[in-house]
Amino acid sequence: MLSATDIRNGMAIREDREIYLVTECQHVKPGKGTAFARVRLKNIRSGSVVERTYKSAEKVDDVRVERREVQYQYSDGATYFMMDLESYEQIPVTESLLGDGRLFLKDSLTLNLLMTEEGVVGVEMPNFVVLTVVETDPGVRGDTATGGTKPAALESGATVQVPLFVNTRDVLKVDTRTKTYVERV
């Protein structure tokens, strides 16, 4: 157990039987009254963000979270298999832990697994991935003045909105956090 004054950015804590990552922590010492910590927490499993305020005398349950660098290998229905890059151990990950990140998985993609004593509790996708367009409507010359977009199917199975000049077999950089097109590579 930790005191609320020991909470720092990047820590993991347990609150209501859920594990949260501390994304932002502000310690406040008002002129009158007791000190407190205003904390923004991100749920590892669901990704939801909540804000909590802890008085300095309150205790929080600290959780040791280890980040393991893994490489995506293959999927077998709803189970995705990752290989630990240090021990070469195969680690199964459920579809629910991957969430929407599964739409951007391709062979040999490197990502991080968040592990506790309970096992895998979360997945950190890379911020950007490079994927090839497998299907999109052909671009029409001179049709870019409106700044329009069209859907493009990517090699991983995801569909993102892209500018009209993007064609099939183009290689794109995609932001996995916002699920949007960034640039043509």
Q: What is the pLDDT along the chain (185 residues), one digit of tens a residue?
A: 888 888 888 788 888 888 888 888 999 998 888 889 999 998 877 778 899 999 988 899 888 888 899 999 998 888 899 999 999 999 998 887 887 888 888 888 999 988 887 788 778 889 899 999 999 888 666 655 567 888 999 998 889 999 888 888 999 999 988 889 999 88
The domains of the chain, with CATH numbers, are 2-63 (2.30.30.30), 66-124 (2.40.50.140), 128-184 (2.40.50.140)
Strand order across the 180-184 sheet:
159-163, 149-154, 128-136, 171-175, 180-184
Which residues, at least 6 apart from 179, have a Cβ–Cβ distance to it below 8 Å?
100, 103, 158, 160
Query: How many angstroms from the chain centroid is the CA of residue 168?
Result: 27
Say if residues 109 and 129 touch (Cβ distance below 8 Å).
Answer: yes
Instruction: Indicate the pTM of the whole model.
Output: 0.70
